[in-house]
Amino acid sequence: MYSIFGLSHETTLLVWALVAIVILIVMIAKYKWNPFVVLLMASLFLGLVIGMAPLDVVKSVQSGLGGTLGSIAIVIGLGTMLGKMMAESGGAEQIATTMVNRFGEKNIPWAMLIVGIIVGMPVFFEVGIILLIPILFTVIRKTNISLLRVGIPMLAGLSTVHGLLPPHPAPMIAIDAFGASIGKTIIYALIVGIPTAIVAGPLFGAYIGKRIIVHPPEGLSEQFTTNNKLDRPDKPLPGFGITMLTILMPVILMLAGSIAEIADPQSTHGISVFLRFVGNEIVAMFIATVFAFFTLGFGQGFTKEQVSKFAGDCLAPTASIILIIGGGGAFKQVLIDSGVGDAIAAVATSAHVNVIVFAYLVAALIRVSTGSATVAMTTAAGIVAPVLALTPGANIELVVLATGAGSLILSHVNDAGFWMVKEFFNMTVPQTLKSWTVMETLLSLVAFGLILLLNVVV
């Protein structure tokens, strides 16, 4: 290892880790390099400068990347297919239309919050926006309600799910890294996420919607509101009930598996083993996706060729996301194998930093610096995991949620989501900062406060 100014071994490890993280941040934020390439570069740099054997560095990168993607890549792929079936069948539109009709025009912001949460469960934030923007513009055209008053709750629903609620792939990264219970995480995520989404969604939306008046881009609005129906006028949209069952199936199966794990953890046969099998995230997403092929595919009149084409076409955009997650896993593994993780853990434990606060601050710093919630969660998981291992009695599921909450804070100009919202909502940069950025920060801070409160209770 290259020693720095006679510092101790432990301190030198931390300094080199900080240098690697600064390189990662600068290359992504300032020079706009591809995050996957930069994560690999930072991983190789850190391993070599710390003094690991070159071939050991390569093995560490390979094992970290492969270990991280072992389940996450499958969940992402299957979730994307499920989201595609919702879009093509009109299932997402059916959910939105039914909610709006039942809630009434006055309560449309609340309806759009629920729609954002439901639609966002199996897909990444950017995909959720693409799915729901046509519905949002249609609602605006029909009701003439302020765009931000309705749009902010929708965004809050999508973002809350992205950061906090399994089986969304982002929180699944932290669950896998920390060895948390999926079932408990879902329960705690609902307790934290629902009030958080309400504050940052309908309540903040009502406030900001009166102060920033914007209208959908004319061309996009016309395109989405005139062509957002299926090109099959003779076919009705899928039923609300079957669409809801399809989208919630992975959550239901995972909860059932977790309940079986808690109730009968030692069983090796019978109903308990079966429930734990179908409750595994991979199996649950697989069952839900195949189910969607029938309920939202064949059941809606699509041919087997069309369903197969939908499943294939939707995978290409996920390649970049999967590689970034894998790169984050590689960096995480180098942190662990090089001894940096143990050094961080020793410093954190000696300073008596609460691991929940530590997880939140690490994820928040990486999020603000890189602009990516996914990179923030993946990298923070590698930094926090060793600290968590040396913190007996910590509530692992709340550490997962703290990491997710930190990854949502202060979205700004280095975040792709910032620019998507700006363009789709036809806002200036200052307007986007006052609305979207404030909403994301509210989500993060309110969730963190509730997590700390829940930690006292449970």
As for how many domains the chain has, the answer is 1
Cα 110 from Cα 298, distance rounded (Å): 32
393 conformational bin, left if phi > 0, alpha if psi -120 to 50, beta if neither: left
Judge whether 109 lies within some domain.
Answer: yes
pLDDT at residue 176, as a whole number:
84
Q: How far is CA 306 from CA 232, 283, 436, in A?
A: 14, 24, 37
Task: Determine the length of the chain.
Answer: 458
- What is the pLDDT, as a whole number, of residue 183? 84
Could you give the 3-state DSSP secondary structure of residue 235? coil
Taking Cα atoms as reference points, which of 398, 363, 357 lies closest to residue 383?
363
One-letter amino acid identity for 79?
A: G
| Closest residue by Cα to residue 121 from 161, 81, 62 | 161
User: Do 274 and 66 form a contact (C-beta atoms < 8 A)?
Assistant: no
Cα–chain center distance at 117: 12
| DSSP label of 345 | H
DSSP letter string, 207-261: HHHHH------HHHHHHHHHH-S-S-TTSPPPPHHHHHHHHHHHHHHHHHHHHHH
Q: Using CA atoms, how far apart are residues 136 and 121, in angstroms rounded to an integer?
A: 18
Q: Model pTM greater than 0.75? A: no
pLDDT tens for the chain, 458 residues long, are: 555 656 677 788 888 888 888 888 788 767 878 888 988 999 999 999 988 999 999 999 999 888 878 777 887 788 778 878 877 888 877 877 787 788 887 888 998 898 888 777 766 676 677 667 767 877 777 777 888 999 999 999 999 988 898 877 778 888 888 888 888 898 999 999 999 999 999 999 999 998 888 887 765 555 444 433 445 555 678 888 898 888 888 878 877 887 787 677 677 777 888 988 988 878 888 998 999 999 989 988 888 998 998 888 878 767 777 887 788 788 878 887 888 777 766 666 566 778 899 999 888 887 876 667 877 888 788 888 888 888 888 899 999 999 999 999 988 766 767 777 887 788 888 888 899 999 999 999 999 999 999 999 88
Name the amino acid, one letter, at 66: G
For residue 409, give every residue at least 6 positions away whose Cβ sits within 8 Å of its Cβ, in sequence order, or none. Answer: 364, 367, 368, 440, 441, 444, 445
What pLDDT score was predicted for residue 83? Answer: 76
CB atoms within 10 A of CB 202: 24
Report if residue 121 sits inside a domain: yes
Which structural domain range is residue 201 located in?
9-457
Burial (CB count within 10 angstroms: exposed 0-12, middle 13-18, buried 19+), residue 226:
exposed
Whether 348 and 387 have beta carbons less than 8 Å apart is answered as yes
Examine residue 2 and state whether it is found in any structural domain, yes or no: no
User: Is residue 1 a part of any domain in this protein?
Assistant: no
- Under DSSP, the state recorded for 238 is P
Per-residue model confidence (pLDDT) at position 205: 94
Of 82, 85, 70, 124, the residue nearest 280 (C-alpha): 70
Q: 68: closest CA among 385, 392, 427?
A: 385
In this structure, are residues 262 and 183 in contact, taking their beta carbons and an 8 Å threshold? yes
- In angstroms, the first-to-last Cα distance of the chain is 43
| Residue 435: predicted pLDDT | 93
40/180 Cα distance (integer angstroms): 27
**4 domain-assigned:** no
User: What pLDDT score does 434 carry?
Assistant: 92
> Whole-angstrom Cα distance, residue 366 to residue 350?
23
